[in-house]
A and B are shown apart, each in its own frame.
Chain A
């Protein structure tokens, strides 16, 4: 059979970087040289990672297509498969199936200022686009990044946050729900933090990813700040098996998050019955 949509490609873990107590970045490279060359993707797409004998799960690609030869995934150990992924060491192999889903609207937002709002492990899918934008810096306007986590220990990409902090062309705002003795930054939840920052909606598109309750309150804040629904973009998650719109699991209305998403604008989501419930 040609073009078997269910058959993963084998890849090798080349690096594991612990991010938090339960979350690590896994850098992987396809074993097949042709696959390393031909695998292309857009920021916002995801893959199904397989640990053979355990199962598969959808994971967003945290690296950017401007970074060649490897893929990065930021994985929290929360279920059967993600715990098995955490057992992987450098040199171990896993399956990668994809890229799947649509992408952040990289072309549509060229020339715009960009506002990224991430919560906890919601930063990695945004990071793919952030890297893409920073690697194509002249095509995009100002970049603001608002990020929060439960505690300083729960911030992912700590080293990278420092690098973004130092860049003159990035405005970074980081908060934590609860600080510790060493934390000197802002303390508080992301949505009120965002209201304090009060970013202008002028010529700006907002991208947000995080826990559902954070997204809900962030969108309320953005609307109060006069952001149009069409300029608020998010990426959804749901349980998935096939990742290609067949297994019937991840639907909202007549859309499959795996095929028609995971990226949607709030203008789109308001048209779908049940999409904004819960």
Chain B
């Protein structure tokens, strides 16, 4: 579809119109923390932000959600499925790293024996992506994984800030429907504008990861994992803020006569993650857990699902790791290590 524009001053009108029809979710700020939250009006949105602390995967795969409730009457047990959502939703302001992460999560939750909770939320949620500010955060490295922060791929609509207006790229019918809600706020670009209104090119560090998978696979027995795991606190923040991590626990809350089964985010960095009741623990050491996490990202996830690496370069883990472990450094270490032994 042809590129359009909308005046910045009109954005709120459009989003408010959307909020009449859909549950509108977008970036908000609370106590200095950016998060994707439902809002009643566009005025509640925070537009100058780099990205959220918790990735918007949480909108599709919540940190904790009830799968079903149970109730015991005498000896009978009644189960009731929990509906994943009520109204159709529009997520405004998602960044392309996080859009890409959803296609990776689609591979997991959409693999046969589909996860209906995740898939229903995906099917009933439109994405209005917002091209990243230029320059992006210094920690960002999404282009390493061939993610273009200015691409309309994977979202329904991409907005790009070019001064007084946003460029509007609509890629799906659902996106066209959202634009049509306030059609008069959008106008085509003149020939001159099409030339002039361009975002500045993205400059970002980009690592060459073309051989990352075969190189990490050669390092299974390497002592590197022991060394890498030494400063790790096992806190799990890297997995909590990761837009591609999908490990979860299933926990019953309430009593045996009245309660619910919840699905909650879990972390492979926890020592009891794979600990069995028998006392056996296949990943008993921190080094084994750290190795498992990086193997999952760079070897076993792409191998299983036929996707790219399970990292989108959002840099949340390296910004928030209390021990200062940077995944970019890990990638460089892995690549350098193989070179030495060659």
A residues at B contact (CB < 8 Å) = 1-8, 10, 50-57, 78-82, 91-93, 95, 212, 237-239, 241-242, 244-255, 259, 273-274, 277-278
**Is B248's CB under 8 angstroms from A248's CB?**
yes
CB-based nearest B residue for A236: B282
A278 to B285, CA, bound (A): 12
B50 to chain A, nearest CB (A): 28
A250: chain B residues within 8 A (beta carbon): 274
A77 to B153, CA, bound (A): 52
A119 to chain B, nearest CB (A): 13
A80: chain B residues within 8 A (beta carbon): 277
**Is A248's CB under 8 angstroms from B246's CB?**
yes
22 residue pairs from A and B, CB less than 8 Å apart: A3-B116, A4-B67, A4-B68, A4-B81, A5-B115, A6-B67, A6-B68, A6-B261, A10-B79, A53-B252, A53-B257, A54-B252, A56-B261, A79-B277, A91-B75, A92-B75, A93-B76, A242-B248, A246-B115, A248-B246, A251-B292, A255-B304
A245 to B115, CA, bound (A): 10
Q: Which 7 A-B pairs have the closest CB atoms?
A: A79-B277, A53-B256, A248-B247, A254-B300, A254-B303, A254-B304, A52-B70
B195 at the interface (CB under 8 A from A): no
B190: chain A residues within 8 A (beta carbon): none
- Secondary structure dominating the interface of B: mixed
B60 to chain A, nearest CB (A): 13
B278: chain A residues within 8 A (beta carbon): 78-79
A238: chain B residues within 8 A (beta carbon): 274, 276, 282
CB-based nearest B residue for A94: B77
B266: chain A residues within 8 A (beta carbon): 241, 247-249
B256: chain A residues within 8 A (beta carbon): 51-54
A255 to B303, CA, bound (A): 9
Q: A80-B277, A239-B275, A254-B300 are in contact. Are A247 and B250 (CB under 8 A)?
A: yes
B220: chain A residues within 8 A (beta carbon): 273-274
B299: chain A residues within 8 A (beta carbon): 254
CB-based nearest B residue for A12: B75
CB-based nearest A residue for B105: A246
A81 to chain B, nearest CB (A): 8
A55: chain B residues within 8 A (beta carbon): 250-252
**Residue of B77, B114, B275 touching A5 (CB-CB under 8 A):** B114
B38 at the interface (CB under 8 A from A): no
B83: chain A residues within 8 A (beta carbon): 1
**Is A245's CB under 8 angstroms from B113's CB?**
yes
B273 at the interface (CB under 8 A from A): yes
B84 at the interface (CB under 8 A from A): yes
